[in-house]
Amino acid sequence: MKAFFIDRYGKNSGARIGERPDPELRDNDVLVQVHAAGLNPLDSKIRDGEFKLILPYRLPLVLGHEAAGVVVRVGPKVTRFKPGDEVYARPDKNRIGTFAELISMNETDVAIKPRDLSMEEAASIPLVGLTAWQALVEKANLKKGQKVLIHAGSGGVGTFAIQLAKHIGATVATTTSTANVDLVRRLGADVVIDYKTQDFEKILSGYDVVLNSLGKDTLEKSLRVLKPGGKLISISGPPDPDFARELGANWFLRTVMRLLSYGIRKKAKRHGVRYSFLFMRAQGDQLREITTLIDSGAIRPVVDRIFPFALTGEALTYVDTGRAKGKVVVKMR
């Protein structure tokens, strides 16, 4: 099969399209012919080797964390899917590789594609949808009437999280650039902070939840907009001891993660709030919940650009600029 892969880690890793073996089909797997795949900053971080201690992949490595396509074969123990089903998924962290003509995934990580979405639109959803769901619904237990600040509202996670939080009934504030103020307002943001001209820390207070995807300065300033008992959830790090336990990390990694997050955890405790790191996981049941929201019209995908598979490298470069509004997708077929 054709795939976009790396032979070594690094920004100049020589990521390229070439031939790779077809994936193995295990007993509980579905083999999916990929029609479209979503791109994320996580793809660049994996390429650059930022997660090689936490996720020791075997090289060569096919990149890609979300896809939409058609089931072509199923393992003998599969009960949920059959050949011909149109599906979408974020594969398990140990089985990534959606930038390819085929991918094999455990059926528990897969869901039927939302009925009215194109393959390209569907491929833009799984990673950001599950990230927003696991942050706001699972970790934050966000409730109607609460207040949530979602940083980088025009990005992939931000565009989805704003809509999900509004569906729940929360008051939503977000940060974005001047050019994207109208976009985040259309998605439902109640309070929009233009970070080029305004300081969110001086405007917001008494928030229940902050979802952070930005750097250290923003992370620490976010503590000060939360009310006592509030929750600061970060998808950009630093990883914390709870994540180390979820990962089943060894003593060395547990120690490293404890030290990396010590400063922000200490400051959070001083403010009477809780800090946690989220590295989202594959979850087909949650994806089915998301499908219901999309089918009902409560949430719609936001796709910035669609690249042909032959230009996957250029698509990843565009994602790396940080200027995409919503998601970037590659079309395989």
- Rounded CA separation 44/67 (Å): 17
Residue 13 above 90 pLDDT? no
Q: Specify whether 119 is located in the same domain as 134.
A: no
- Whole-structure pTM over 0.95, yes or no? yes
Token pair listed for 70: 């058609």
Does residue 115 sit within a domain? Answer: yes
Token pair listed for 63: 């990149």
Question: Looking at the 3D structure of the chain, how many domains does it have?
Answer: 2
Token look-up 């669609």 returns 306
Does residue 163 sit within a domain? Answer: yes
- Where does a domain end: 277, 292, 318? 277
Q: Are 196 and 178 in contact (CB under 8 A)?
A: yes
Q: Specify whether 75 is located in the same domain as 131.
A: no
Does residue 296 sit within a domain? Answer: no
pLDDT of residue 217: 94
Domain that holds residue 152: 127-277
What is each CA distance from 151 to 98, 163, 175, in whole angstroms?
27, 13, 5
User: Which among 126, 136, 23, 12 has a CA at the least distance from the CA of 68?
Assistant: 126
Radius of gyration of the chain, Cα coordinates, nearest whole angstrom? 19
CATH code of 249's domain: 3.40.50.720
Mean pLDDT value across residues 248-253: 91
- Rounded CA separation 226/293 (Å): 28
Least confident range from 61-65, 242-246, 267-271: namely 242-246
Confidence band, pLDDT 50/70/90 cuts, at residue 36:
very high
Confidence band, pLDDT 50/70/90 cuts, at residue 37:
very high
Q: Where is 104: in which H helix or E strand?
A: strand 102-106
Mean pLDDT value across residues 37-57: 94
**CA 308-309-310 angle, 5° bins:** 90
What is each CA distance from 189 to 132, 149, 160, 168, 221, in whole angstroms?
15, 10, 11, 13, 20
Does residue 288 sit within a domain? Answer: no
Evaluate the CA torsion angle 201, 195, 240, 246 in order and state its sign: positive
pLDDT of residue 333: 80
Q: Specify whether 147 is located in the same domain as 270.
A: yes
Residue 8 above 90 pLDDT? yes
Q: Specify whether 213 is located in the same domain as 260.
A: yes
Does residue 295 sit within a domain? Answer: no
Residue 36, phi then psi, degrees to nearest 5 = -155, 150
Token look-up 């970060």 returns 234
Mean pLDDT value across residues 1-7: 97
Does residue 282 sit within a domain? Answer: no
Residue 12 above 90 pLDDT? no
Q: Specify whether 224 is located in the same domain as 269.
A: yes
- Write the pLDDT tens digit of every residue in 308-320: 999 999 999 999 9
Instruction: Look over the chain and give the mean of its residue pLDDT values, rounded to a whole number.
Output: 96
Residue 101, phi then psi, degrees to nearest 5 = -70, -25
Output the DSSP codes for 276-300: EE------HHHHHHHHHHHHTTS--
Residue 213 above 90 pLDDT? yes
Q: Specify whether 173 is located in the same domain as 259.
A: yes
Output the DSSP codes for 109-150: GEEEPPTTS-HHHHHTSHHHHHHHHIIIIIIS---TT-EEEE
Higher pLDDT, 285 or 14: 285
Q: Are 100 and 3 in contact (CB under 8 A)?
A: yes
Q: Specify whether 52 is located in the same domain as 150.
A: no
- Rounded CA separation 3/100 (Å): 4
- Rounded CA separation 193/195 (Å): 6
- Write the pLDDT tens digit of every residue in 280-333: 999 999 999 999 999 999 999 999 999 999 999 999 999 999 999 999 999 998
Does residue 310 sit within a domain? Answer: yes
Q: Specify whether 92 is located in the same domain as 195.
A: no
Residue 54 above 90 pLDDT? no
Mean pLDDT value across residues 49-61: 92
Q: Specify whether 110 is located in the same domain as 132.
A: no
pLDDT > 70 in the chain, percent:
100
CATH code of 95's domain: 3.90.180.10
CB atoms within 10 A of CB 72: 14
Does residue 287 sit within a domain? Answer: no
- Write the pLDDT tens digit of every residue in 132-191: 999 999 999 999 999 999 999 999 999 999 999 999 999 999 999 999 999 999 999 999
Q: Specify whether 156 is located in the same domain as 226.
A: yes
Q: Specify whether 157 is located in the same domain as 40.
A: no
pLDDT of residue 14: 85
Q: Specify whether 222 is located in the same domain as 149.
A: yes
